[in-house]
Amino acid sequence: MPTRTARTAWNGTLQDGAGQVELSSSGAGTFEVSFPKRAADDADGTTSPEELIAAAHTSCYAMQLSALIAEAGGTPQSLEVTADVTLGPDDPGFKLTGIALTVRGEVDGLDADGFAAAAQAAKQTCPVSKALTGVPITLDAALVT
């Protein structure tokens, strides 16, 4: 399996500095980061580690869930996954205090209970969920008709 790489170049102090996160392996882009914007309600065009974790988690979870739906005899037509990753205080510093996953799916061949079982199994088995076991992860999963 491949290794993927990202790179951050940072200049300055935590409060006054800023950086750029580069998605090096894919070349998909370079994104601005700063702590004041990370801690603000309005990100103002910058990303954050929490947003990048949310992106990684939702994409990994969607892939895992689509595989588990197929294993259970269903066919995923569409999955919409969101993740809200929360940063909070810690002593010292900060920590991730929770991740709220929400998934809505259009699936042929599975009822609500079957979908819920696959969704819960995906939460337990997606590699990003496994990497984040130190953070409480909640799941809200439902079929849409």
Q: What is the pTM of this model?
A: 0.95
Closest by Cα among 71, 64, 58, 72 to 112:
72
Enumerate residues 6+ apart whose C-beta is below 8 A from 59.
81
Cα 79 to Cα 123: distance, rounded to the nearest angstrom: 14
Q: What is the pLDDT of residues 111-131, one digit of tens each?
A: 999 999 999 999 999 999 999
Longest dimension (CA), the chain: 55
Residue 141 pLDDT greater than 90, yes or no: yes
Neighbours of 141 (CB within 10 A): 21
* Single-letter amino acid, residue 9: A
Q: What mean pLDDT do residues 2-7 have?
A: 97
CA distances from 100 to 58, 82, 94, 116, 125 (A): 10, 8, 18, 16, 16
Place of tokens 């979908």: 115
Q: What is the pLDDT of residues 100-115, one digit of tens each?
A: 999 999 999 999 999 9
User: Would you mind telling me the total number of residues written for the chain in this entry?
Assistant: 145
| Residue % of the chain over a pLDDT of 90 | 99
Closest by Cα among 53, 54, 62, 50 to 126:
62
Cα 138 to Cα 34: distance, rounded to the nearest angstrom: 28
pLDDT reported for residue 84: 98
pLDDT reported for residue 145: 80
